[in-house]
């Protein structure tokens, strides 16, 4: 799951080296925290959160395959 | 993006380009050409002759680039898939996918499929100038195509209703792709006009009688 979010974020931002993803996994759920360079926030959030929503949607689908719920948090 | 570049000399620019294309093994449509030095003719036709120098860079074909991005996404989503069809036509790349996880890939009302298509599209177009942008369509076993056809027939039925009742019809909120389908199918109809109103994600198409 981490690799998925990492791949998407790295492919969208101007500073891919500053992309940091951590995964906290529970038995039935997981939390993915995404950090990007301040200037790249817009690149992963998008207008009205459109990109963030799409990232959450694909991550949810991937987690569903493993029978898990996932929360993707984008942090400063 | 993978690229390959060669520099070649030739008596004329055309000759130099031809030599470069032979080297790369591709067609002129697949490359970008920079002319580094124009040929000059010296005195007496041979003293000081300078050949042309060109730099030819192979462009990755848009459909291949799109396929790479979509596959990268699907693999990391751990989706079981196979690419059924890959076409590049007039600025549109269409990828049709099949496999065991298609229900998952489509998602509720196509939500996941739309998200995959949206993200892949952003990645592909990130470094493209506006005029070079590619429209990417990711489809699953023609799921989109079938949905498109049913939306077209709905639009036609509703336009009949507008003509009959002489009242506007406001359709359910739709995304820009769906709205485009409605606008396009009713564009040719001289009796009705269509327009969109409201803000995303509640933007709706209105079908109205042409005055």
CA distance A25 to A22: 10
| Closest A-chain CA to B121 | A12
* Whether the Cβ atoms of residue B54 and residue B7 lie closer than 8 Å to each other: yes
Which domain CATH number covers B117? 3.30.300.20
B70 and B137 both lie in a single domain: yes
Say if A11 is an interface residue toward chain B (CB within 8 Å): yes
Beta-strand relationship, B169-170 and B204-209: antiparallel
The verdict on a CB contact (< 8 Å) between A7 and B118 is no
Contacting residues of A for B119, CB less than 8 Å apart: 8, 12, 51, 54-55, 58
In terms of domains, do B67 and B136 share one?
A: yes
CATH number of the domain that residue A70 is part of = 3.30.300.20
Cβ of B123 within 8 Å of Cβ of A48? The answer is no
Out of B95, B119, B141, pick the residue that ends a domain.
B141
**Selection from B38, B41, B40, B30 nearest residue B6 by Cα:** B30
Q: Quick one: B72 and B128 in the same domain?
A: yes
pLDDT digits 0-9 by tens, B153-193 = 999 999 999 999 999 999 999 988 899 999 999 999 999 99
Which residues span the domain enclosing B15?
A: 5-58
Q: Do B135 and B202 share a domain, yes or no? A: no
Number of domains in chain A: 1
ipTM for this model: 0.95
Q: How many domains, in total, are found in chain B?
A: 3
Question: B125: nearest CA in chain A?
Answer: A12
CB spacing of B78 vs A3 below 8 angstroms = no
B86-95 residue pLDDT tens: 999 888 999 9
CATH code, B188? 3.30.1370.50
- Domain range for residue A9? 2-75
């Amino acid at each position: 799951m981490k690799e998925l979010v990492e791949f998407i974020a790295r492919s969208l931002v101007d500073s891919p080296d500053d992309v940091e993803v951590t995964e906290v996994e529970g038995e039935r759920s997981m939390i993915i925290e995404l950090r990007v360079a301040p200037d790249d926030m817009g690149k992963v959030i998008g207008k009205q959160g459109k990109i963030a929503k799409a990232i959450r949607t694909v991550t949810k689908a991937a987690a569903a395959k493993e029978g898990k719920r996932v929360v993707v948090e984008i942090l400063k | 993006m993978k690229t390959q570049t060669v520099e070649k000399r030739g008596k004329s620019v055309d000759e130099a380009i031809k030599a470069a294309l032979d080297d790369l093994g591709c067609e002129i449509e697949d490359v970008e050409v920079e002319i580094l030095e124009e040929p000059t003719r010296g005195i007496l036709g041979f003293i000081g002759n300078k050949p042309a120098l060109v730099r030819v860079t192979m462009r990755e074909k848009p459909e291949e680039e799109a396929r790479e991005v979509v596959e990268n996404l699907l693999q990391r989503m751990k989706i079981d898939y196979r690419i059924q069809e890959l076409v590049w036509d007039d600025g549109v790349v269409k990828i049709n996918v099949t496999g065991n996880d298609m229900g998952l890939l489509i998602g509720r009302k196509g939500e996941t499929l739309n998200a995959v298509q949206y993200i892949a599209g952003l990645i592909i177009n990130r470094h493209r100038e506006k005029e070079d942008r590619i429209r990417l369509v990711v489809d699953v076993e023609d799921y989109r195509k079938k949905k498109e056809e049913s939306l077209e027939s709905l639009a036609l039925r509703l336009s009949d209703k507008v003509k009959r009742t002489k009242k506007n019809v406001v359709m359910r909120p739709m995304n820009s792709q769906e709205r485009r389908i409605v606008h396009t199918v009713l564009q040719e109809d001289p009796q009705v006009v269509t327009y969109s109103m409201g803000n995303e994600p509640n933007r709706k198409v209105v079908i109205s009688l042409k005055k």
